[in-house]
Structure 1
Amino acid sequence: MSAAAPEQEGGETGPSRPKPRRFLLPAILLTILLLLGGGAWLIFSRLLAPLASLGQGGPPPLPVKTAPVTTATIEDSSEYVASLQSRQSVTLRPRVAGQVQEILVRAGDPVTAGQTVLQIDPAEQEAVVSNRQFAVETSLAEIESARADAANARDALQSLEAIRQARQADVRLNQQEYDRFQRLYREGAASRQLLDQKLNSLQTAQAELLEAEADIRAQRAIIARQESNITRSQRAFNEAQSNVTQQEVQLQYYTIAAPFNGTVGDIPIKVGDYVSSTTSLLSITQNKELEIQVGIPIEKAPRLRKGLPVQLISQAGGRPLKTGRIFFIAPDVDPQSQSVLVKAVFDNADGKLRTQQFIGARIIWARQANGVLVPVTAIARQAGKDFVFVPERYDARCKATDEQQGKPKGRLPKDDQLVVRQQIIRSGKIIGNNQEVLEGLKPSDRIAVDNLLQLQDCAPISEQGSTNAEKSEGKS
C-alpha cells in the first residue's frame, strides 16, 4: 500500500483528467447571464423606452447641429484657358550687315528706351561717311570760288559802268562843241576845218561810248555765268550733304538700341558673328502690362461688353491672381471655332506673371449681392428635388401633417418643441464647398447640417449649437 500512493501522485494521466469539469459550470452560468442581460436591454430599448416616451408626449428629439445660411456676393462667371501676351515685345534684327563688335547686355537685364544693347562693326560705313563728307567740303570750296569770281565780275562791271558814264559825258561835251561850231560856220565865224575837227571828236567819243557799253554787256554775261556756276555748285553741295546725311543715318543702324523699357530675353548670337537683316539679335519684352486673348463661345457673345471684369486665376485651386477688364471685342466671329475674340489687359508691375504663360481666365458676367449659400452636405435630394431642413417650433402645419399620417395624439410633440421643416430649394452653382440657393431660403434662416438621413419633415430635434464652420466664420 505504501508503494501505490506515489504512483498516483507522480502519474501524468488517469486521475488528473476530471479537473476541467470544475470550470465548465461557471462558464455556462456566465453565458446565460450575458444572454439574459442583452435580452433585457433589447426589451427596454424596443418596448419599455417607447412606452415611457408615450407617456411623455412623443418620441425623443434627435440631436442635430444647425448653422445659419451664409450670405455673400455671388458671381455669374465663366472660366477659360488663356495665354498671356506682352503688349510690347520685339525681336531685334539689324538693318545692315556686318560683324558683331560688342554685346552690351546679358539675358535678363532690364533696359530703358534708347539704351545701346549691341554694336555692329561700323568701320566700313564710317569710311563711306568720311568720303561723302570730303565731297561736301569740295562742293563747298567750289561754291566759295564761284562766289569770289562773281564778286570780282561785279566789281569789274561797276568800273565799266563808271567808264561808260565818263564816255557819255564826253559825247555830250563833243556834241555841244560840234553844234556851236556848226552855228559859227553858218555865220562865217569858223572855218570848215574846225567844224570837221569837232565832228571827228564827236564821232570818236560816240565810238568810245559804244565800246564801253559793249564791255558792260560782256561783263554782265560773265557775271551770269558765275552765278550759274554758284547755283550748280550749290546743287552739288546739297546733294553731297544729303549723301552724308543718308550715310550717317545708315551708320546709326550699326548701333542697336532698345526701342522701349523692358527686359532682355534670349541672345542667340555672340561677338564676332556675321549678321544680316534676317538675323535675330535678341528679344526685349515689357512685362509690366500683359494681355490675354480668349475665344468666347458664340452663345455667350450677346453678354460681352467692354469693361467687363476678368480675373486671372491659378490653375491650382482657382485663386484669383490679377483683375483686369475687357478692352477689345472682335467685330466678327472666327469661322472655324465659332467664337468671338476678346482681349483684356492686366497690370503686372510686380513681375509675377510671364509672357506665353498658360493661365485660367474667369470672365465675370454679373455680381449678385447677399446671395444665399449653404454647405453642399446640408442638401438632401429626393425624387429629383433638392431640399434642406429648417429648424422651427412645432406648429399647426406640423400637427396637421402628423394627424394626417395617423400618429396618435399621445405621440405628438409639444407645441414649443423644436422640429425641422423640409424646405424645397432651387439650387444654383457650386462655389467651393457651398452651393448657391436661388429660391427657398432667406438670409436669416438656419439649417440642419448633420443627421440628414434620420430627419424628416416635422421631426423633433434638439439643437446642438454652432458648427465649426460657423464658429470660424464668426471669428473672421
Structure 2
Amino acid sequence: MLKLYSLPKYLNLLLANPVLVIILMLTTLTSGCQKNDPAANAQSPPPLPVKLQKIDAGTIEESSEFVGSLEAQQKVTLQPQTQGRIESILVSSGQKVQQGTPIASLSLDQAQANVASSIAAANSVQAALATAQAEQQQAEAQRTKAAANVQLQRTQFNRTQQLVSEGAVARQESDIARNNLQTAIADLQAAEKQVAASRAAVRQAQANIRQAQASTAAARVSLGFKQVVAPITGVVGEFPVKVGDYVNIGQTITTLTQNDSLDLNLSIPSNRLRQLRMNLPVQLIDPTTQQLIGTGAISYISPNVSSNQQSVLSKARFRNSQGRLRDGQYVQARVIWNRQPGILIPTVAISRVGGQSFVFVTENKTVNGQQQQVVHQRLVRLGDIQGPNYQVIDGLKSGETIVTSGILKLREGAPIQPIS
C-alpha cells in the first residue's frame, strides 16, 4: 500500500536513508542524459514511396488551338428524277452503301402510260410519213409527165410555126399550138409546186418521227428512274418519307455522306501568315476527354484576308479510315507551327511555391554506410503545356530523374523509395 508523506517527513526520510538519496540522484542523471542524446531519442524518417521518371530528350512544339466542326468532302441529297409513289425502301438509315446501290423503288404508273402513249404517237407519225412519201412520189410522177408534155407542145409549136411561115397551114393553127404550150408549162409549174409541197410534208413527217422518238426515249428514261440509286459510296441518312408516300421531282428522299475524308475550317489570325503553309500538321483533340482523335494537315489556304476578323480561312483535311470522325462533329484543333528538341516533364511533377515552379530531383547519398536516394527541390522555368506535359525552358537536363508522385509529402533532403 502506497504511503503518502508530508514534505518535512519526506526530508527526514531522505536524511535517514542515504542509499535512497543516491538512487534518486542516479535516476535523475540517467534521465537527463537520455534527453540530451539525439541518437537515443531521434530516429531518421522512413523513406517515402514515390514514382520516378528519367528525363529524356523530347520534342517541344509551338502550337495554337482552334475550335470548329468537321465537314464531309462529299455529301449528297438523294432526290427522284421523276414523280411517283414510293414502292419500297431498300436500305436502312446509318447503313454504308456502295455507289450504284438501289436506295428506293418508285411505282411509276404514269411513266408507263407515258411510254405507251409515246409509242402510239410514234407509230402514228410513222404512218403519216409513209403517206407523205407516197404523195411525194405521185407528185414527182405528175411533174415528170407535165415536163414531157411541155417538151411535146414546144416541139409541136415550133413545127406549126415553120408550116405557117411556109404558108402550109393557117395562122390559127399556130395560135392553137402556142396555147397548148402555155397550158403544158402551167401544168408543169403546178406539178413542181406539188412536188415541193409533198417534200415539205415528208420533211415534217420525218421531224414528227424524230420528236416522237425523243418523247418515247424520254418516257423510257423516266421509266428507268423507277429505282433511286446511290451516286457515291457513303452512309445513308434519315428518311423523311415512307413507303406509300407520293414524291415529286426534287423532293428529298434521304442523304448520303462520305466520311472517308473530312475538312475542318480554320480562321488563322493574319499575324501567323509567315508561319502558315501547306501541309502544316494539325491535331484533332476531343474537347471532352482531351485525347488525340486524329491527325491531318493544312490542305487549303485562302488568298484573301477577312477584313472584319483579320484572319485567313484555311482548311485542314483528315483521313478517317477507322470511322472515328463524323460530319458535323465538334472538335478542338491544334495547329503545330514549329517542332524542336527539348525537355518535357509531367504536369503532376510540378509543385508551386510563392508563384514559382519546382520539381524534386533525386540524388544517391551514403547514410550509415548504405546508399540511400534522397530528393532536392529545384527551381525550374516552364513553357507551354503540351498534352499532359510541361515544356521545360530552364532548370533540368536530359538524364536526370524526377519524382512524379507524392510530391506534397516531400521536403528537401527527404529519403525516398522508388516504386513501379
- Equivalent residue of 2:169, what SS? helix
Q: Which residue of 1 aligns with 2:228?
A: 256
What code does the residue aligned with 1:260 have?
A: I
Q: Which residue of 2 aligns with 1:285?
A: 257
Q: Select which of 265, 270, 273 maps to 2:237.
A: 265
Q: Select which of 218, 225, 234 maps to 2:190.
A: 218
Residues 102 and 230, structure 2, Cα contact 8 Å, conserved in 1: yes
Residues 334 and 340, structure 1, Cα contact 8 Å, conserved in 2: no
**Structure 1: how far apart are the matches of 2:52 and 2:203?**
103
Q: Which residue of 2 aligns with 1:429?
A: 384
Q: Which residue of 2 aligns with 1:373?
A: 344
Q: Which residue of 1 aligns with 2:17?
A: none
Q: Which residue of 1 aligns with 2:319?
A: 347
Residues 287 and 331, structure 2, Cα contact 8 Å, conserved in 1: yes
Shift of 1:287: 1.6
- Structure with greater strand share of residues: 2
- Structure with greater helix share of residues: 1
**Structure 2: how far apart are the matches of 1:283 and 1:334?**
36
Shift of 1:71: 0.9
Q: Select which of 93, 116, 121 maps to 1:107.
A: 93
**Structure 1: how far apart are the matches of 2:351 and 2:40?**
29
Shift of 1:285: 1.5
Q: Which residue of 2 aligns with 1:43?
A: 37
What code does the residue aligned with 1:371 have?
A: G
Shift of 1:263: 2.0
**Structure 2: how far apart are the matches of 1:132 and 1:146?**
21
Q: Does residue 129 in structure 1 map to residue 115 in structure 2?
A: yes
Residues 70 and 374, structure 1, Cα contact 8 Å, conserved in 2: no
Q: Which residue of 2 aligns with 1:359?
A: 331
Shift of 1:452: 7.0
Taking a change above 3 Å as real, the CA distance of residues 286 and 436 of structure 1, as seen in their structure-2 partners, is same
Q: Select which of 446, 457, 460 maps to 2:400.
A: 446
**Structure 1: how far apart are the matches of 2:391 and 2:377?**
18
Residues 377 and 411, structure 2, Cα contact 8 Å, conserved in 1: no
What code does the residue aligned with 2:400 have?
A: R
How large is the Cα RMSD of the aligned pairs? 4.5
| 1:369-427 superposed Cα distances (whole Å, 9 cap, x missing partner) | x21234556666666555668899xxxxxxxxxxxxxxxxxxxxxxxxxx999976432
What code does the residue aligned with 1:82 have?
A: G
Shift of 1:97: 4.2
Shift of 1:454: 1.7
Identity of aligned residues (%): 32
Shift of 1:286: 1.2
TM-score (norm 2): 0.71
Residues 70 and 326, structure 2, Cα contact 8 Å, conserved in 1: yes
TM-score (norm 1): 0.64
Residues 174 and 198, structure 1, Cα contact 8 Å, conserved in 2: no
Taking a change above 3 Å as real, the CA distance of residues 208 and 351 of structure 1, as seen in their structure-2 partners, is same
Q: Which has the larger radius of gyration?
A: 1
Shift of 1:123: 0.6
Q: Does residue 230 in structure 1 map to residue 202 in structure 2?
A: yes
What code does the residue aligned with 2:412 have?
A: Q
Q: Which residue of 1 aligns with 2:70?
A: 84
Instruction: State how many pairs are aligned.
Output: 379
Matches within 5 A, 1:47-446: 69-94=55-80, 96-179=82-165, 182=166, 195-197=167-169, 202-276=174-248, 279-295=251-267, 303-315=275-287, 317-329=289-301, 331-333=304-306, 341-368=313-340, 370-376=341-347, 384-386=355-357, 425-431=380-386, 434-443=389-398, 446=400
Return 258-267 or 86-95, whichever deviates more: 86-95
* Structure 2, unpaired ranges of 5+: 3-22, 44-49, 364-373
- Equivalent residue of 1:82, what SS? strand
Shift of 1:269: 2.7
**Structure 2: how far apart are the matches of 1:108 and 1:422?**
57
Shift of 1:428: 0.9
- Equivalent residue of 2:411, what SS? helix
Taking a change above 3 Å as real, the CA distance of residues 73 and 202 of structure 1, as seen in their structure-2 partners, is same
Shift of 1:341: 4.9
Shift of 1:355: 2.6
Return 237-246 or 131-140, whichever deviates more: 237-246
| 1:128-181 superposed Cα distances (whole Å, 9 cap, x missing partner) | 3322332233223223322221122112222222233333333444444555xx
